[in-house]
């Protein structure tokens, strides 16, 4: 297996992008990544595109071919494959691209992600997202995604003493980070009081505990490490890639206060990278809800089980803390166009390791991690990057 590096990155602004289409966004992100890598279209061997639900959001299927076409690559007949794993579609597209390069089957591969979510009503969007849960055993009985994560939060609070103020601090921190990120959807500060006073969605989760509906796209260009310096002055090596699955429905899980898919994907990625969690300098984790970030930092081994809330409250995951988490603003404040999120995470980590993250830059960052979850934890991807 060959070592794989990122040689170019690109990402659109996230938000309610009424002025652009899915085609516009993926073309914008792709051109940015290709120009960053300083390559030509003729050098690309394959594309893998994460997209959860184009059929529901924009009534368009056959997304792989569409992306190649609107990116101007159809005339080159480059194979383009759509990848779907709910909210982990982007992370899985990245993994498929890594495997294609590592195996030697391809040399230069683009991993991208895109979602256009705001062209439908909020109810239609919520129903489309609910399809990432167990439709027969959860959704048909009225369980929404906020409700599923609310059950996780309730048990975590009862078992470990986690408070809502500690969960709210996740939102406070990530909104603060987003204020330093020009592509973020919500560049605004919030307080714990703001979170606690925002409307209740599913007890104990308020509106400001939840990630938004977003539009956006991101892309990264991969190449074998031995070739990477031909294209980039400072390629970022991908030293670990883990993927794991779990039951789709919560009622079959071993423990509602852990996402076992995250635990196992993390272990695989750390073993492949040959490092321990304490060596990571910066991380992007899947904070679709504030409790999700607390679960993630526990399941990935950054803190002991049950200590995620306290660690957040004490500043462990803030800029300047022991492990800055979600410097982009995370899903919570940067935005969550579901197919693009996993690629945006890799984009942010690449910027951090290249020293190009501006006011949110983590000093001397050398090792970064990206964690992407599908649904309520049925799929998880963990990638580890090294400068």
152-198: pLDDT as tens digits:
999 999 999 999 999 999 999 999 999 999 999 999 999 999 999 99
263-303, pLDDT tens digit by residue?
999 999 999 999 999 999 999 999 999 999 999 999 999 99
Mean pLDDT of 44-73: 94
Note whether 206 and 222 are same-domain residues.
no
Q: Which of 182, 193, 14 is nearest to 90 (CA)?
A: 14
Strands 4-11 and 215-224 turn out to be antiparallel
Note whether 224 and 298 are same-domain residues.
no
Instruction: Considering the candidates 87, 139, 210, 334, report the single residue annotated as catalytic.
Output: 87
Q: Is position 130 within any domain? A: no
Sequence-separated (6 or more) residues with CB below 8 Å from residue 31 = 10, 71
Q: Is position 133 within any domain? A: no
Last residue of a domain, one of 236, 268, 291: 236
Note whether 163 and 107 are same-domain residues.
no
User: What letter would DSSP give residue 199?
Assistant: P
210 by DSSP, 3-state: which?
strand
Residues forming beta bridges with residue 373, ordered by sequence position: 380
Note whether 106 and 247 are same-domain residues.
no
Report the alpha-carbon distance of residue 44 to residue 24 in Å, rounded: 20
Is 87 catalytic? The answer is yes
Instruction: Considering the candidates 206, 286, 336, 383, report the single residue annotated as catalytic.
Output: 336
Is 251 catalytic? The answer is no
Which has the minimum average pLDDT: 71-75, 117-121, 217-221, 281-285?
71-75
Task: Residue 382: give the domain boundaries.
Answer: 141-212+239-386
């Amino acid at each position: 297996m060959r070592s794989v590096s990122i040689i170019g990155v690109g990402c659109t602004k996230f938000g309610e992008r009424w002025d652009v289409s899915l085609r516009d966004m993926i073309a914008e992100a792709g051109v940015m990544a290709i120009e960053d890598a300083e390559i030509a279209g003729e050098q690309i061997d394959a594309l893998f595109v994460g997209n959860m639900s184009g059929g529901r959001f924009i009534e368009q299927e056959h997304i792989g071919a569409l992306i190649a076409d609107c990116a101007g690559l159809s005339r080159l007949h480059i194979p383009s494959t759509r990848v779907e794993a709910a909210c982990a579609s982007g992370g899985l597209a990245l993994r498929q691209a890594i495997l294609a390069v590592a195996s030697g089957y391809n040399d230069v591969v683009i991993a991208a992600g895109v979602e256009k979510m705001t062209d439908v009503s909020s109810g239609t969007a919520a129903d489309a997202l609910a399809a990432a849960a167990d439709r027969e055993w959860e959704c048909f009985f009225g369980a929404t995604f906020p409700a599923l994560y609310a059950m996780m939060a309730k048990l975590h609070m009862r078992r470990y003493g986690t408070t809502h103020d500690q969960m709210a601090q996740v939102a406070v921190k990530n909104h603060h980070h987003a204020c330093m990120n020009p592509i973020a959807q919500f560049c605004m500060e919030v307080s714990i009081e703001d979170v606690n006073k925002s409307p209740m969605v599913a007890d104990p989760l308020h509106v400001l505990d939840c990630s938004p509906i977003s539009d956006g796209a991101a892309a990264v260009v991969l190449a074998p490490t031995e070739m990477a310096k031909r294209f980039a002055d400072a390629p970022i090596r991908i030293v670990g890639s883990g993927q794991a699955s779990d039951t789709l429905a919560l009622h079959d899980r071993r423990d509602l206060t852990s996402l076992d898919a995250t635990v196992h994907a993390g272990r695989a990625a750390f073993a492949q990278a040959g490092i321990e969690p304490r060596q990571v300098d910066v991380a992007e984790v899947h904070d679709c809800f504030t409790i999700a970030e607390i679960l993630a930092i526990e399941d990935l081994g950054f803190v002991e089980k049950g200590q995620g809330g306290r660690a957040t409250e004490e500043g462990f995951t803030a800029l300047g803390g022991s492990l800055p988490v979600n410097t982009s603003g995370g899903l919570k404040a940067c935005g969550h166009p579901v197919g693009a999120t996993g690629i945006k995470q890799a984009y942010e980590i690449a910027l951090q390791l290249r020293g190009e993250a501006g006011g949110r830059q983590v000093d001397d960052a050398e090792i970064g991690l990206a964690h992407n979850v599908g649904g309520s934890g049925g799929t998880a991807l963990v990638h580890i990057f090294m400068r």
